[in-house]
Amino acid sequence: MPLLPLVLLSGIAIGELPETSSPPSAAPAVAPAYAEDGSLLRPEGFEEWVFVGASLGLSYSPHKAEYGDEFFHNVYLDRRAYEHYVRKGEFPEKSMLAMSVYKQASKAEGPAKLQGSFEGEFVSLEVAVKDSERFEEGWAYFDFSGGETQKRTAKPFAREKCYNCHAEHASEDNVFVQFYPVLRRLKADAPNESE
Ligand code: HEC
């Protein structure tokens, strides 16, 4: 059996190995990008961020029943922000959260009907960005759904459309950590960092 480390190191002189004092980060630097008019560019590849939680039909809206459909929500946190959250327990500047929304679907299959529901038609992509240099409140909210096609850019919503509900109901820094098991769990196990 070949010695794996030797194979991996072949061709690299030992003297060139990087110092190991700071651990290498696997996270590609993802930061919010804006168009000239200040719109946010649709974050590509958000499905490769850290998946923090999902919900079905979750809403504070009193009008929910009128819509009939219950939507699936999938929430992702960009990896750089996630790693910071793991270490410090807070969301750094330039954090981005993406929430993809799907219609609930079910299927009748033969005489034995398939039970339960799955994520059917894609409905929208909503994004939250923490960028205090740009937005007075710190967090800004965007929606990339635009009818048939998804929008490439989106303008921030007015405070009363999105921000206020997040500020009022979200458990931590405008983010609904209470509904995201991956972050919730971290919080519960977080070592007491003295800094
Ligand atoms: C009435 C309350 C309410 C309003 C208004 C609201 N949200 Fe949210 N939002 C929620 C709740 C509850 C969640 C928790 C996750 C879920 O829905 O599955 C959430 C989660 C999110 C997330 C995932 C990240 C996070 O912050 O937790 C994004 C992105 C988001 N909302 C975008 C928006 C946008 C864009 C608007 C405005 C168009 C908006 N929200 C308005 C209640 C609200």
**Window from 13-27, 71-85, 149-163 with minimum mean pLDDT:** 13-27
Residue 50's pLDDT is 98
- Whether residue 183 contacts residue 77, with contact meaning beta carbons closer than 8 Å, is answered with yes
**Span from the CA of 162 to the centroid of ligand 1 (angstroms):** 7
Reported as a single tens digit per residue, the pLDDT across 32-70 is: 999 999 999 999 999 999 999 999 999 887 655 555 578
Candidate of 126, 145, 172 to mutate for ligand 1, largest count of ligand atoms within 8 Å of Cβ: 126
Percent of the chain with pLDDT strictly greater than 90: 63
- In which element (H, E) is residue 153 found? strand 153-154
Q: How many helices (H) and strands (E) does the chain have?
A: 5, 9
Q: What residues pair up with 51 in beta bridges, in sequence order?
A: 76
Reported as a single tens digit per residue, the pLDDT across 71-121 is: 999 999 999 999 999 999 999 999 999 999 999 998 877 776 788 899 999
d(CA 104, CA 119): 5
Kindly give the number of the ligand 1 atom that is closest to the alpha carbon of 128.
29
Residue 191's pLDDT is 55
In 23-169, alpha helices (H):
64-67, 79-88, 163-169
Half-sphere exposure of 176 (CA within 13 A, CB side): 23
The residue among 95, 67, 101 whose CA lies nearest residue 81 is 95
Which tokens in the block code for residue 53? 């939680």
Q: How confident is the model at residue 25 (pLDDT cuts 50, 70, 90)?
A: low
Domains (range + CATH), the chain: 45-107+115-184 (3.50.70.20)
Kindly give, in sequence order, each residue whose CB lies less than 8 Å from that of residue 102, ignoring residues fewer than 6 positions away: 71, 72, 74, 119, 120, 121, 122, 123
pLDDT exceeds 80 at position 8: no
**Span from the CA of 166 to the centroid of ligand 1 (angstroms):** 6
Kindly give, in sequence order, each residue whose CB lies less than 8 Å from that of residue 54, ignoring residues fewer than 6 positions away: 72, 73, 74, 75
**Window from 19-28, 104-113, 186-195 with minimum mean pLDDT:** 19-28
What is the average pLDDT across 125-137?
97
For ligand 1, atom 20, the nearest C-alpha belongs to: 176
Kindly give the number of the ligand 1 atom that is closest to the alpha carbon of 176.
27
pLDDT exceeds 70 at position 14: no
Q: Which residues line ligand 1 (CB under 6 A)?
A: 55, 58, 60-61, 73, 75, 97, 99, 126-128, 141-143, 157, 161-162, 165-166, 170, 174-176, 179
Q: How confident is the model at residue 182 (pLDDT cuts 50, 70, 90)?
A: very high
Q: What is the mean pLDDT of the chain?
A: 83
Residue 64's pLDDT is 56
Kindly give the number of the ligand 1 atom that is closest to the alpha carbon of 75.
23
Residue 27's pLDDT is 52
Q: At what angle do helices 181-189 and 79-88 cross, to 10 degrees?
A: 30
pTM of structure: 0.84
The residue among 187 and 88 whose pLDDT is bigger is 88
